[in-house]
Amino acid sequence: MSSFKKTTSTPSQDPNALPLGFTPQSENWNGRLAMIGFLSVVLIEAFTGQGFLHFWGIL
């Protein structure tokens, strides 16, 4: 029998690596940034008394 090593590619375990695609890390960051954006819009509307689009002069 021939002896050979079975090699499989595994994703990098480096936490600072930049994983591309729909990974759990990218989905977590997407959710966090969406929550920050939504909270920003709510606070702008609460403190200025105007809608977000009116605040930026779009409407």
- Specify the higher pLDDT residue, 54 or 14: 54
- The predicted model scores a pTM of 0.59
> What's the confidence (pLDDT) of residue 8?
58
Residue 10 lies in a domain: no
The domain containing residue 46 runs over which residues? 24-55
Do the domain assignments include residue 15?
A: no
φ/ψ bin of 21: left (φ > 0), alpha (ψ from -120 to 50), beta (otherwise): left
Q: What is the pLDDT of residue 10?
A: 60
Give residue 19's Cα distance to chain centre: 12
19 in a structural domain: no
Residue 47 confidence (pLDDT): 93
> Is the distance from CB of 51 to CB of 45 less than 8 angstroms?
yes
